[in-house]
Amino acid sequence: MDQAINLNKKLATFEQHWSPRTVTTFNGHDVMVVKVLGEFNWHSHPDTDDFFLVLKGSIDIELRDRTVSLGPGEIYVVPRGVEHRPVAREEAHLLLIEPTGTPNTGDKATAAKRQVI
């Protein structure tokens, strides 16, 4: 990596929702930006925590027993194994960090293909 990575410039290169783009890597993890809108599926990741930072807009991370609401500049880490469902009532932009190869849906069969931009 030769220069700074500008997250807004990376986000401006695509429109698709729920399709994370890897902008760099860090200690075996993908650092990703994603645009989200609507309800994702319920899922969990048995082997990794799930890092969310809201860059723009807001999301709810629904857990089975409560909902965590996040706005810009707010972080939540879903512990490994905990079922969750991200929901965005309007388009939101997120920074995600997950080990390289983690399926975003928790299931390789339905996961979005990892794309590097």
Q: Which residues bind to a second copy, rule: CB under 8 A?
A: 1-8, 23-27, 29, 31, 48-49, 51, 53, 55, 68-71, 73-77, 79, 95, 97, 99
Instruction: Select 1 or 109, whichever has its Cβ closest to a second copy.
Output: 1
Instruction: Select 75 or 117, whichever has its Cβ closest to a second copy.
Output: 75
DSSP string, 55-71: EES-EEEEESS-EEEE-
Instruction: Select 40 or 52, whichever has its Cβ closest to a second copy.
Output: 52
Shortest separation between residue 79's beta carbon and a second copy, angstroms: 8
Shortest separation between residue 34's beta carbon and a second copy, angstroms: 15
Pairing of strands 21-26, 115-116: parallel
User: CA 14 to CA 50: how far, in whole Å?
Assistant: 23
Q: Could you give the C-alpha distances from 53 to 2, 43, 88, 95, in angstroms and in order?
A: 24, 18, 13, 5
Shortest separation between residue 104's beta carbon and a second copy, angstroms: 16
Shortest separation between residue 4's beta carbon and a second copy, angstroms: 4
Nearest to 112 by CA among 38, 32, 54: 32
DSSP summary character for residue 117: -
Instruction: Select 21 or 29, whichever has its Cβ closest to a second copy.
Output: 29
Query: Token pair 């960090």 is at which residue?
Result: 97
